[in-house]
Chain A
Amino acid sequence: MKTRPHFEDAHVGDAIPTVSKVVRREEVKAYADASGDQNPLHQNDAFARSVGFPGIIAHGMFTMAHVVKTVTDWIGDPAGLLAIDVQFRAVVFMDERLEAGGEVKAVDPQSRRVTLSVWAAVEREGKRVLAVKNSTAEVQLD
Chain B
Amino acid sequence: MPLNKALVGKEYPPLTMEVDREAVERFADAIGEDGAVFHDAAAAKVAGFPEQLAPPTFPTRMQIAVSASVAADPELGLDYTRVVHGEQAFEWLRPVHVGDVLTAMPRIADVRARGPLEFVVVESEIRDAAGEVVLRARTTLLSRGTGTSES
Contacts and interface: CB of A to CB of B under 8 A. Distances in A.
Interface string A60-77: 111011101100100000
Interface string B35-50: 1111000000001010
Interface of A: 1, 21, 27, 30-31, 33-37, 51, 60-62, 64-66, 68-69, 72, 78-79, 81-88
The 3 closest A-B pairs by CB, nearest first: A85-B89, A65-B31, A34-B30
B95 A82 contact: no
A61 B90 CA distance: 12
Q: Which of B33, B56, B95 lies at the interface centre, i.e. has the most chain A CB atoms within 10 A of its CB?
A: B56
Contact of B94 (A37, A68, A79, A85): A79
B65 interface: yes
Given A1-B47, A60-B85, A83-B90, A30 B29 contact: yes
B116 interface: no
Interface of B: 23, 26-27, 29-33, 35-38, 47, 49, 53, 55-57, 60-61, 63-65, 81, 84-92, 94-95, 138
Contact of A31 (B31, B38, B88, B89): B31
Contact of A61 (B84, B85, B138): B85
Given A35-B61, A36-B61, A66 B32 contact: yes
A130 to B, nearest CB: 14
